[in-house]
Chain A
Amino acid sequence: MFFKKPRERKIQNLEKQVEHWNTSLDDLKIKSSLDENITIIKKLFENMDMMRYKTIQMKGKSEKRYFLAFCDGVVDSEIINTHIVKPLMTLTPTGGDSLLEALLSSVVQVGESKIVDNFKNVVENVTYGDTILFAEGCNQAAILNTKHFALRSISEPDNEKILGGPREGFTESLTQNLSQIIRRLRTHEFKTKFITLGRITQTSICLCYIDSVVDKGVLQELFRRLEQIDIDGVLEENYISENIRDNRYSTFRTTGYTERPDVVVGKLLEGRIAMLVDGSPLVFTAPYFFIENFQSNEDYYYSFYYTSFSRFLRICAFFLTVAVPGFYLAVVAFHQEMLPVQLLMKLALERQSVPLPAAIEAVIMLLVFDILRETGMRMPSNVGHALSIVGALVIGQSAVEASLVAAPMIIVVAATGITGLLIPKLNAPIIFWRILILLMSATFGFYGLTIGLSLLFIHMSNLTSFGVEQLSLPGSFQFQNIKDIFIRAPWFKMVERPRSLTRNRVRQSGGEVRQSGGDERG
């Protein structure tokens, strides 16, 4: 061939352009020529063999060509066959301003559809299970909802088990998750704002709040921070949370997360904002109080006597798990005179034949415990009892009988480990602070322990979550605020919402409600 047809040349040029546009599809508008559009889309999805294309030729008085593109695996082929392809072949479009609108209104039998004019939207939607319909002579395309994914069914989340109460948990589907929330909030004041994050993943993210309760300042701040994120992918809530939370280097999380719809609704009702990320069952909540680490949804479903006690246990557990190894070491290695004589003699007897110094022993045993814990989490469940044999027999019993480890140390490590497991949300900070305090105690005794704990408290009281203090200090003490801290007050006493979260405080309009308009946010 010595010359090419002008049309072919044009298409070759187009392919080059597509390569150039690949990075910024925003500018790539849909052409009015169907062939050009076909070329562009085939070039865009070159080597992507999941894509399916279909050209439909209408013979008749008006000869029309349609082009369908969809991605295999995420579409419902039943819908495509019977409600898109079949009508396109048999029916004639009528009415509408353009051909596409006519098709949507009179031919295609799909509930959700929209018309777009650039390839960016086309690409985003076709990979999410939609079918794209191009029509000859239209510089637009129709996006038809044919989504169909394999989804996990709703089940109780494994890491937030409760004895009684709703057993639903979130799944990986954003719409399913939203449905679980909206079912519990049947009001127009429940707002959901969608945004998209992730250059490549284009993940849908939904911000939920209750309009009349939420603090608008916090909401604005959240939007501001979200806008600054530029990341290639968002697979889970933590991708965002680590980017936008206060005290980003802190070992403590200053944002919350949960897998339970009832928890999310409870938090929304207190004026918090929830963020759902498509593809992740974890839902982000903010602002986050420090005490929320110790709260459980069960607290609100059971007798307040019982749950106040268990909350007290959880708070104690935090201090125990952080300080017990350090305390033991300080007593054993520095301040022996603090122990009652009988206990001192017993401990000394146990330590008599142990070769390692107590400090090294403590560090090793804590590491061993963490290794066991990590193994328990990672290993396949059918080799589970191997771990218990190694853990209980080899380390617990044999090490003590062989006098490699002192028995009191095993007790200390066990107490530390068990209390640590009581508050799973504080896993990360606990490990670091425990070791820090242990090292301080090993070097300076009680003096070090005191300094370590002081550092911990100073750090904790400096934490904020979207500008709201995580730990309310005595300076901003409010009686109504502490009803849900160390104890869980009975519901008839919790008449106000937390003051630092919202200005709309009336939770229950009973006798004890005091609503003041002043700005007392702390």
Chain B
Amino acid sequence: MVKRFLICLLLVAMVLLLGGCWNYKGLDQLNIVLGIAVDFDKEANQFNITYEVADQASAGKNTMIKSRIVKSQGKTLLDAARNAKRKEADKLFFGSTNILVLSRDIALEMGIQPVIDWFLRDGECRETMHVALSQEDTAEAILQRSGQMSGIVSINLHDILREDRSIVASTRNVKLYELYDILELRNSAVLPAIHKAEENADQQIAELNGIAILQGDRLKGFLTPEETKYLLFLENIIKSGVLTLSAKSEKTDDISLEIFDNKTKKSFAYNQDKIVVKFETRTHVVIDENHSKLDMMDPEVIKQIEKAGEEMLEKNLRDLISKIQHEFQTDIFGFGEMIHKKDLKLWKQLEPSWKEIYPTLEVDVKSKLIIRDSAFIK
């Protein structure tokens, strides 16, 4: 009986102690990091890291919580994170970080892989934080608040990034683990790009500005917000957004179409050493704005607008693909992955020389635009 009791006690103790997550840390001892900007100082050969942390000291019971900036340097990221403790009473807490901003220089020269490695490897960091690339000289500039701007920059940026796809479709948000997965899979990736837009003389505001294209973990170039929209079409992830066009093919666009629903099919055909990649988009839109004075009750007019829209869409999609194929030469659409999945034999043949084949692939785009209604009650 005693023996049985002791064995039970031992088992219980083992179950409890070997579970291994029992770090009691008081909520008041947290320095909640909301956003991180990573720069690399080439002269000193060290990382300059900027943290936006929640500022509890200055907040009263009834005021909004503000943020403050903490900076630290170190040879590695962990080193820098620990160095921050030299001037901060409370240890930095990375469990609620919203956004990680990388500097352009890191993406150009060093590659982002070494940077995101720590954030993925460290036990405390949030893997669902958004990753973005700064278009300014430093990443720090994005988190620095200027002028009268209110609120917490990191949280604002996080919300902007998260909701972008369902409203504007001007960028593609990427979470840390997604970035890692996609780099593994396609050896290329996209990151949202952020720049500082002039609001007025003494105030600059961080604004999304399209996406950055990465080949491997190096920066290849940027796409404008407009181009990004078509990229989202091709990736079949566009949820909403606006298409503007001119029904009479004039210079100024006079009709706004709100995207309701889109389906893009990606396929390829292979015959006689020629691979043709085919995109077919099928988009449901509504007319949301009309300055063209055309009669929207007329089916002929609707057809005309549909046609103009299809042409516009096809042209823009083609331009984008060709830009990525030739200028950036990165397979961000995953053509290789598609062939690999569908036709392994073919892929085996192509794989060694895929880099040379990729820019030469022929791409065919077919768009179908369906105007669902004119959003107007007569």
B19 touches A348 (CB 8 A): no
B24 touches A341 (CB 8 A): no
Asked whether any CB of chain A lies closer than 8 Å to the CB of B95, the reply is yes
A346 touches B28 (CB 8 A): no
Q: In the complex, what residues of A have CB within 8 A of residue B16's CB?
A: 443-444, 448, 451
Q: In the complex, what residues of A have CB within 8 A of residue B25's CB?
A: 333-334, 336
Q: Which residues of B contact A (CB under 8 A)?
A: 15-16, 19, 21-28, 30, 32, 34, 54, 56, 59, 65, 93, 95-96, 98, 124, 126, 155
Expressed in whole angstroms, the Cα–Cα distance for A358 and B34 within the complex equals 23
CB distance from B280 to the nearest CB of A (A): 40
Binds B, one of A69-77, A167-175, A349-357: A349-357
User: Do A344 and B32 contact each other (CB < 8 Å), given the known contacts A336-B95, A451-B15?
Assistant: yes
Partner of B30, one of A348, A353, A445: A348
B65 touches A345 (CB 8 A): yes
Q: In the complex, what residues of B have CB within 8 A of residue A442's CB?
A: 24
Asked whether any CB of chain B lies closer than 8 Å to the CB of A275, the reply is no
B27 touches A347 (CB 8 A): yes
Residue of B nearest to A355 (CB): B28
CB distance from A62 to the nearest CB of B (A): 75
Where chain B touches its partner, the secondary structure class is loop
Residue of A nearest to B67 (CB): A345
Where chain A touches its partner, the secondary structure class is helix
A445 touches B34 (CB 8 A): no
Expressed in whole angstroms, the Cα–Cα distance for A348 and B98 within the complex equals 17
Q: In the complex, what residues of A have CB within 8 A of residue B23's CB?
A: 334, 445
Q: In the complex, what residues of B have CB within 8 A of residue A333's CB?
A: 24-27
Q: In the complex, what residues of B have CB within 8 A of residue A352's CB?
A: 28, 56
Q: In the complex, what residues of A have CB within 8 A of residue B155's CB?
A: 341-342
B54 touches A358 (CB 8 A): no
A447 touches B22 (CB 8 A): yes
Asked whether any CB of chain B lies closer than 8 Å to the CB of A337, the reply is yes
A349 touches B65 (CB 8 A): yes
Expressed in whole angstroms, the Cα–Cα distance for A60 and B27 within the complex equals 100
B32 touches A345 (CB 8 A): yes
Expressed in whole angstroms, the Cα–Cα distance for A447 and B19 within the complex equals 8
CB distance from A327 to the nearest CB of B (A): 14
A-B contacts besides A348-B27, A348-B30, A444-B19, 4 pairs, CB < 8 Å: A336-B25, A337-B124, A357-B24, A359-B24
Q: In the complex, what residues of A have CB within 8 A of residue B22's CB?
A: 334, 443-445, 447-448
B59 touches A341 (CB 8 A): no
B21 touches A348 (CB 8 A): no
CB distance from A457 to the nearest CB of B (A): 16
Expressed in whole angstroms, the Cα–Cα distance for A349 and B24 within the complex equals 18
Q: In the complex, what residues of A have CB within 8 A of residue B59's CB?
A: 349
A345 touches B27 (CB 8 A): no
16 inter-chain pairs at a CB distance below 8 angstroms, sorted by A residue, are A333-B24, A333-B25, A334-B24, A334-B25, A336-B25, A341-B34, A342-B155, A348-B56, A349-B59, A349-B65, A351-B26, A354-B28, A443-B22, A444-B16, A446-B21, A447-B22
Q: In the complex, what residues of A have CB within 8 A of residue B95's CB?
A: 336-337
Q: Which of A345, A347, A446 has the most CB of B within 10 A?
A: A345
Nearest first, the 5 A-B pairs at minimum CB distance are: A337-B95, A351-B27, A351-B28, A345-B54, A447-B19
Residue of A nearest to B57 (CB): A352
Expressed in whole angstroms, the Cα–Cα distance for A351 and B32 within the complex equals 13
Q: In the complex, what residues of B have CB within 8 A of residue A444's CB?
A: 16, 19, 21-22
Q: In the complex, what residues of B have CB within 8 A of residue A446's CB?
A: 21
Q: Which of B21, B27, B126 has the most CB of A within 10 A?
A: B27
B56 touches A349 (CB 8 A): yes
Q: In the complex, what residues of B have CB within 8 A of residue A448's CB?
A: 16, 22
Expressed in whole angstroms, the Cα–Cα distance for A448 and B21 within the complex equals 9
Q: In the complex, what residues of B have CB within 8 A of residue A348's CB?
A: 27-28, 30, 32, 54, 56
Q: In the complex, what residues of B have CB within 8 A of residue A357's CB?
A: 24, 26
Expressed in whole angstroms, the Cα–Cα distance for A348 and B32 within the complex equals 9
CB distance from A212 to the nearest CB of B (A): 46
Q: In the complex, what residues of B have CB within 8 A of residue A144's CB?
A: none
Expressed in whole angstroms, the Cα–Cα distance for A353 and B24 within the complex equals 18
Asked whether any CB of chain B lies closer than 8 Å to the CB of A339, the reply is yes
A344 touches B26 (CB 8 A): no
Expressed in whole angstroms, the Cα–Cα distance for A264 and B133 within the complex equals 72
User: Do A336 and B93 contact each other (CB < 8 Å), given the known contacts A341-B34, A345-B65?
Assistant: yes
B21 touches A337 (CB 8 A): no
B56 touches A341 (CB 8 A): no
CB distance from B100 to the nearest CB of A (A): 14
A447 touches B21 (CB 8 A): yes
Q: In the complex, what residues of B have CB within 8 A of residue A353's CB?
A: 28
User: Do A346 and B26 contact each other (CB < 8 Å), given the known contacts A337-B126, A339-B96, A341-B155?
Assistant: no
CB distance from B163 to the nearest CB of A (A): 15
Expressed in whole angstroms, the Cα–Cα distance for A443 and B12 within the complex equals 14
As a 0/1 sequence over residues 320 to 340 of chain A, the CB contacts with chain B under 8 angstroms (1 = contact) are 000000000000111011010
User: Do A332 and B24 contact each other (CB < 8 Å), given the known contacts A337-B96, A349-B59?
Assistant: no
Q: In the complex, what residues of B have CB within 8 A of residue A332's CB?
A: 27
As a 0/1 sequence over residues 359 to 391 of chain A, the CB contacts with chain B under 8 angstroms (1 = contact) are 100000000000000000000000000000000
B34 touches A334 (CB 8 A): no
Q: In the complex, what residues of B have CB within 8 A of residue A341's CB?
A: 32, 34, 96, 98, 155
Expressed in whole angstroms, the Cα–Cα distance for A337 and B125 within the complex equals 9
B96 touches A344 (CB 8 A): yes
Q: In the complex, what residues of A have CB within 8 A of residue B96's CB?
A: 336-337, 339, 341, 344
Expressed in whole angstroms, the Cα–Cα distance for A337 and B95 within the complex equals 5
A346 touches B21 (CB 8 A): no
Expressed in whole angstroms, the Cα–Cα distance for A345 and B52 within the complex equals 13
CB distance from B328 to the nearest CB of A (A): 35
CB distance from A361 to the nearest CB of B (A): 10
Q: In the complex, what residues of A have CB within 8 A of residue B56's CB?
A: 345, 348-349, 352
Q: In the complex, what residues of A have CB within 8 A of residue B124's CB?
A: 337
Expressed in whole angstroms, the Cα–Cα distance for A344 and B15 within the complex equals 30
CB distance from A406 to the nearest CB of B (A): 9
CB distance from A364 to the nearest CB of B (A): 15
Q: In the complex, what residues of A have CB within 8 A of residue B65's CB?
A: 345-346, 349
As a 0/1 sequence over residues 441 to 460 of chain A, the CB contacts with chain B under 8 angstroms (1 = contact) are 01111111001000000000
Residue of A nearest to B93 (CB): A336
CB distance from B161 to the nearest CB of A (A): 14
Residue of A nearest to B65 (CB): A345
CB distance from B130 to the nearest CB of A (A): 12
Expressed in whole angstroms, the Cα–Cα distance for A443 and B24 within the complex equals 7
As a 0/1 sequence over residues 411 to 455 of chain A, the CB contacts with chain B under 8 angstroms (1 = contact) are 000000000000000000000000000000011111110010000
Residue of A nearest to B25 (CB): A333
Q: In the complex, what residues of B have CB within 8 A of residue A345's CB?
A: 32, 54, 56, 65
Expressed in whole angstroms, the Cα–Cα distance for A345 and B34 within the complex equals 10
Residue of A nearest to B12 (CB): A451
Expressed in whole angstroms, the Cα–Cα distance for A332 and B95 within the complex equals 13
Expressed in whole angstroms, the Cα–Cα distance for A347 and B19 within the complex equals 27
CB distance from B154 to the nearest CB of A (A): 9
